[in-house]
Amino acid sequence: MRLLRVATCNLNQWAMDFDTNLRNVKESISRAKAAGAVVRIGPELELTGYGCEDHFLEQDTTAHAWECLKDILSGDYTDNILCSIGMPIIFKSVRYNCQVFCLNRKIIMIRPKMSLANDGNYREFRWFSAWTYKDELVDFQLPSDVSEATNQETVPFGYGYLQFLDVSLAAETCEELFTANAPRIDLAFSGVEVFMNASGSHHQLRKLNLRIDSMRDATRLCGGVYMYANHQGCDGGRLYYDGCCCIAVNGDVVAQGSQFSLKDVEVLDALIDLDAVSSYRACVSSFREQASHVTKVPCVKVQYKLCQTFRDGMIPTDPIEVMYHCPEEEIAFGPSCWLWDYLRRSRASGFLLPLSGGADSSSVAAIVGCMCQLVIKDIDKGDEQVKADAMRIGQYRDGEFPTDSRELAKRLFYTVYMGTENSSEDTRSRAKRLAEEIGSFHFDVPIDSVVSAFLSLFERLTGKRPRYKVDGGSHTENLGLQNIQARIRMVLAFMMASLMPWVHNKSGFYLVLGSSNVDEGLRGYLTKYDCSSADINPIGSVSKQDLRAFLRWAAVNLQYSSLAEVEAAPPTAELEPIRTDYSQLDEVDMGMTYEELSIYGRLRKIFRCGPVSMFQNLCHRWCGRLSPSEVADKVKHFFKYYAINRHKMTVLTPSYHAESYSPEDNRFDLRQFLYNSTWPYQFRKIDQLVQDIDKDGKWVEDRRADSQLRQRGAARPAQGGGMGVVAAGSANPSVGL
């Protein structure tokens, strides 16, 4: 029996903070060695941090990475342990994303990434090139100072594997796990038993199962050991890397790290029986046949043994049941950890939130409350780093430290209800009760006098005073009166965030939190430079439906019972006068429901539908409920307001990325912001399709009959095809053919 103890890790790295990154890498290696591991894998680009972006174009970034690697190799960190360390490397004037394999203070191989991530949030081709040569390993000339430290001039560079005396190992890097023609296939046929994946994978709601399934499938089909390492935390941008390092063997997960954690370093180890890998492969005849005539992959032979032989008490790690968080827990824990990292690394003293008593701002408040609860739990578990950060941010003195989440919230969280004559007593009382449950320092600030001052100034300038629609005013007047309330709140929020610490004799400043959700951003149902304009926004990429589910969950699990009442209340901006015969409601103002917005968003972004293809798909989806002309009106209405309001995305507050249909303009959803909002060509095509459908009465009858059969669960072949859309918050949020 060949037994191999391996270790992988989650590291909370910070882009361009080489001191923090190097310290975490060293700590992870030390912990791996202490656990008895002889193989250690770290996250992708761990020395620089993954999110350096255009800093990768600077020679300094690569040079500093080499300096950090030299520091590691100059000590005893790599003694008797194979370490894969991620960093950028320039070879023949081309920059590559690499894993550097080190053992006993020497570099034994450098493996450049072959499949780059270049969609969604990723732009790796902007900074790196993919390695495309598969037939040979080439010599890489080490930098002179590294060469002197290791007593090596050149090392093997390229695609290949490491052949030790008792085990063979190879690398995959992040995206290569998910590619169709993955490197591990040929590597497995060449006898590689252990695959080491250094990853930089961000959190997204309902995404973890994709990673776990990919690792299981990789080892189920080809056999072998799969070690997966990941970043964990906010490394300086909109993404939160959710960790969940894993070790899988022959289709089973044997070790799983935390998905959401405040820890800077987490190391996961397992004892693997490598004979089980060879036995698993040898029993599959198709694998044997394919492996017997495949082109061999280049290798580096290492005259060293990593495995142990069986001894009493040495038991290979058993498979485990994978732990998945429900979406409500993901919304609670992911943004909470992201906020904590942002707070401690920005050197701010806390957060300030305009708390309206509605679903969105209440969700943000609950997430901050959850953050405080997580901090207290980690302090109780003895995490000295979290304790030190909490003491510094909360400005504790004389050896005091936080022991209660509500007391901690009182020190680092301001909430402000900024009411007007249009605000209701219900929202005011809900905001106050929630603040009490969380423990925030709460203000109730009437702003009618400020609004009146602005209107009086406007009247002196123009001789006119605008009126609300319910009082006989025009649409322009009504919109202007709403916008001025919203923008005053933004100015007041930033003023309080900068000055309230001074008022309370605290140092520093508070970060203003935004609370617009992904659906409102998509529709543009927000005022430019209102309370949606903040420093950061933890829910900017979360749908309204998911937020309402989160509120129900948080009312019970976070013990903020007032959230149940918040969730039950109809969404309203409360920017127009309250009348007995009129109540302002968000969905009425928007001309569409939040459920419809989620469907539009998924079709527009995930399935790349323009107006015409969206109309065609929704005709199938909503047939029997809406006529084609009604579907056309809805699609036109959505695209009209999407186009009119797209410019707002250019100034949208940086938001935690959680949803695959986010309209965030700066990184994720790259589209123009000036549109012809009448979409003349596309809308004309839709009108023509409606006419064609109306002429064909049989088409409508067939679709209605088909819809009725589907509702009864009957099976009937589809006529014409189309996408079925499942709304956000459902068990399966995907759109299927």
Active-site residue list: 44, 113, 174, 356
Q: Tell me the pairing of strands 194-198 and 225-233.
A: parallel
Contact status, residue 50 vs residue 13, Cβ threshold 8 Å = yes
Query: 95-123 b/e with 16+ CB inside 10 Å = b?
Result: bbbbbbbbbebebbbbbbbbbbbeeebbb
157 and 139 Cβ atoms separated by less than 8 Å: yes
Task: Give me the residue label for tokens 């890397």.
Answer: 241
- Amino acid at position 621, single letter: R
- Burial environment of residue 275 by CB neighbours within 10 A (0 to 12, 13 to 18, 19 or more): middle
Residue in this structure with the two tokens 């050197």, named with its chain if needed: 347
Q: What b/e string do you get for 469-506 counting C-beta neighbours within 10 Å, with b at 16 or more?
A: beeebeeebbeebbebbbbbbbebbbebbeebbeeeeb
**Strand ranges in 436-522 using DSSP code E only, listed in sequence order:** 441-444, 510-512
As given in the structure block, the two tokens for residue 576 are: 């127009």
Report the distance separating Cα 607 and Cα 736, nearest Å: 10
Residues 6+ apart with CB under 8 A from 656: 238, 240, 334, 335, 338, 536, 537, 538, 539, 540, 541, 542
Q: Nearest 5°: CA angle at 73, between 68 and 75? A: 105
Q: Give the DSSP H/E element, type plus range, for residue 272.
A: strand 265-273
Is 356 in a helix, a strand, or coil?
coil
Give residues with Cβ within 8 angstroms of 306, minimum separation 6: 4, 38, 39, 82, 164, 166, 167
Cα–Cα distance, 350 to 663 (Å, whole number):
28
Q: Are 172 and 195 in contact (CB under 8 A)?
A: yes
- Quickly count: other Cβ atoms within 10 Å of residue 537's Cβ: 27
In this structure, are residues 334 and 559 in contact, taking their beta carbons and an 8 Å threshold?
Answer: no
Structure tokens at 567: 């969730």
How far from 730 is each of 153, 255, 258, CA to CA, in Å? 58, 29, 25
Alpha helix positions (H), 261-302: 274-282, 285-292
Query: What is the DSSP-derived secondary structure letter of residue 597?
Result: H
Closest by alpha carbon to 281, among 270, 290, 269? 290
Question: How many CA atoms are closer than 13 Å to the CA of 143, on its beta-carbon side?
Answer: 13
* Beta carbons within 10 angstroms of residue 446's beta carbon: 14
Q: 106 forms bridges with which residues in the sheet?
A: 103
Contacts 24+ apart (CB under 8 A), 683-690: 683/611, 683/636, 685/611, 685/612, 686/611, 686/612, 686/615, 686/632, 686/635, 686/636, 687/632, 689/612, 689/615, 689/616, 689/628, 689/632, 690/628, 690/629, 690/632
Length of the chain counted residue by residue: 737
Q: Which single residue is written with the structure tokens 């732009």?
A: 123
Q: How far apart are CA 362 and CA 430, in angstroms?
A: 9
In eight-state DSSP terms, residue 616 is: H
CB 128 within 8 A of CB 50: no
**8 A C-beta contact, residue 162 and residue 305:** no
Q: Which one, of 175, 336, 199, 311, lies nearest residue 257 by Cα?
A: 199
